[in-house]
Amino acid sequence: MPEISIRLFSQHLMQGVWCIILALLFLYTFNVYRKHYLKIWAFSWWAFALYLLTAAAILQLMWVYPVHHPIGVSLTVLSICAAYTQTVLLFVGTWELINEKKFKKSQLYLFLLLTVALAVLSSIVFLNGANASEERFFARVGIRAIITGIGFLATGIWIITTKSTSKGLGKKLLTVAFIIFGLEQINYFVVGLLPLLGIEYEFTYITHLGLLDFFLQALIGMGMVIWLLENERRDLKKANADLDSFFYSTSHDLRSPIASILGLTYLAKHQSKDQETLEIFERIEGRIQKLDEVINDILNYSKNSKRTLNITKLNFNVLLDDVIGSIKFVKGASAIRLDYIPNEKNLLNGDKDRLVTILNNLISNSVKYHDLSKADPYIRVSFHKSGGMARITIADNGSGIDPKDQAKVFDMFYRASTDSQGSGLGLFIVKEAVKKLNGTITLESAPRVGSTFKVVIPDLEP
C-alpha cells in the first residue's frame, strides 16, 4: 500500500474514533437534558463515524479486490450514504435547535431516502469502465463533496441570517466551522473535477487536509456543546427570574389578607371573655404571625435577588444600633447581654440593606435559640478591617447546632428540628446576601456551647 494511502487510512481511522466519542457525548447530553436535537446530532456523528470507518476500509480493500467487487461496492454505497445522512441530520438538528420544535418525520424520511438513492447511483456509475478511474472518483467523491459542501455552507449561512435568541460563542464557533468545512468539501470537488476537464494541477496540500478535518470536527463538537450550555444557562436564568417574580408577587398579595386576619383575631381576643376561646384565638394569632414571618422572609429573599448593589459609606455602629432596636422586643432579648465595643473607626463601604439583612437574621437567630438558663447569656459582636476586607463576627453561648446539621443550615427551608421556630429561610437569605456582596460566611458551633458566625466581605468602593 502506498504511503499516501496509509496516511489517509490512519487519518480516517482517528477521525472515526473521535466521531464515535462525540456521538456518545451527545447521547449522554440527550439523556440529561432531553432535547430532541441532541439525539439528532448524536445520530449525525454516528453517521459520520460510519462514513469515515467505511472509507478507511475501502482504502484497505482497494488493493485486494477489483473496483466492481460486491464488498467494495457495498462499502462504497454505505460510506456515501452515511456521509449524506450526516449532512442531513446536522441540518435537521440545527433547525430544531433554532426553531425549538421537532422536524417533521415525513420530511426527514424523504431526505434520508434521497440520500440512499443518490449514494447507490453515484456508486454504480462508471463501475464497469476499466479506464474510468477519474470518472469513478468524481462520481463517488466529487459529487458527495459538492453536495456535502453546499449543505454545510448553506447551514452556516442560514445560522447567521436566521434570527435567534442565542448570540453566544457556541453559535459563532458552529457557524465558522460549518462554513470552513463546507469550503473544504468544495475543494475536494474541484480536485475531482479538474482531471475531467483536462486540467493538470498538483494539490500538494491535499494529504494534510485530514488534520484540518480533525480540527473542524472538534470545533463543530465544541460549538454544539457550548451552544447547548449557553441555551441552558439562558433558560435557567429565565426560570429563576420567573420564580423570583412569582415568589414576590404571591407573597406581596398575601400580606393584605394576613394583616386583615391578624386584625380580626386581635379584635376577637379582646371582645371574648371565655378563656378557652381566648386560647384558641391566641393559637390562631401565633400561627398567622408565623406565616407572616415566612412571607416576610420570602419577600426579603426576592428583594435581595432582584436588587442591584448600592454601595455607600456606612457606620457599623449605627447599623448595629438599628438592628438591635428592631429586635429588642423579641421574646428573651432583654435577658441577653450584648457584648460590643463601639469604635468611631468601624466604617466600611457596603450595601446597607443587605448588611442590615445579614445582621438582623444572625442576631435574631441568636436570640431565638439562646439558652436563657445559663448564668450569663450573651451575644458578642465584633468588627474589624484589614487588607481591604471587613470581618464581622457574631458569637453566642446559646444552645449551639449539632454537627450533622451544620452543613445544611444555609439551605433553603432547612430546619434542624421540628421545634425550630423560624421559616428555614433566614440563614439561606444571609448566605445569598453575603454572596451578592462577594463575601463568605462560615459557622463554628458546638451543642450546648454556642455558635460563631464569621462574615467576610470586601470593603467596596462606592
Here the CATH number for the domain that contains residue 43 is 1.20.1070
Domain shared by 197 and 331, yes or no: no
Bridge partners, 313 (sequence order): 349
Domain shared by 213 and 334, yes or no: no
Domain shared by 315 and 237, yes or no: no
What is the per-residue pLDDT for 126?
57
The ranges of the chain with pLDDT < 70 are 1-2, 4, 63-68, 126-132, 164-166, 202-208, 210, 416-423, 462
| Domain-terminating residue out of 217, 241, 265 | 241
Bridge partners, 444 (sequence order): 452
Task: Determine, yes or no, domain membership for 154.
Answer: yes
What's phi and psi for 256, nearest 5 deg? -65, -50
| Domain-terminating residue out of 207, 241, 275 | 241
Domain shared by 199 and 339, yes or no: no
| Domain-terminating residue out of 241, 273, 302 | 241
User: In whole angstroms, what is the distance from residue 338 CA to residue 379 CA?
Assistant: 5
Domain shared by 337 and 418, yes or no: yes
Alpha carbons within 13 angstroms on the beta-carbon side of residue 145 total 18
Domain shared by 218 and 328, yes or no: no
Cβ atoms of 99 and 231 closer than 8 Å: no
What is the per-residue pLDDT for 128?
61
Task: Determine, yes or no, domain membership for 278.
Answer: no
Domain shared by 202 and 319, yes or no: no
Number of domains making up the chain: 2
Task: Determine, yes or no, domain membership for 141.
Answer: yes
Cβ atoms of 51 and 86 closer than 8 Å: yes
What is the per-residue pLDDT for 358?
94
Q: Which of 109, 146, 150, 123 is nearest to 54 (CA)?
A: 123
What is the per-residue pLDDT for 236?
87
User: In whole angstroms, what is the distance from residue 56 CA to residue 68 CA?
Assistant: 18
In whole angstroms, how far apart are CA 41 and each of 89, 153, 221? 6, 17, 10
Task: Determine, yes or no, domain membership for 215.
Answer: yes
Domain shared by 213 and 319, yes or no: no
Task: Determine, yes or no, domain membership for 296.
Answer: no
What is the per-residue pLDDT for 208?
65
Rg over alpha carbons for the chain, rounded to the nearest Å, is 35
What is the per-residue pLDDT for 138?
80
User: In whole angstroms, what is the distance from residue 455 CA to residue 462 CA?
Assistant: 20
Task: Determine, yes or no, domain membership for 410.
Answer: yes
**Residue reference for cell 462554513:** 179
- What's 413's domain CATH number? 3.30.565.10
Domain around 368: 311-458
Task: Determine, yes or no, domain membership for 41.
Answer: yes
Task: Determine, yes or no, domain membership for 173.
Answer: yes
pTM of the model: 0.63
Domain shared by 184 and 323, yes or no: no
What's phi and psi for 395, nearest 5 deg? -125, 150
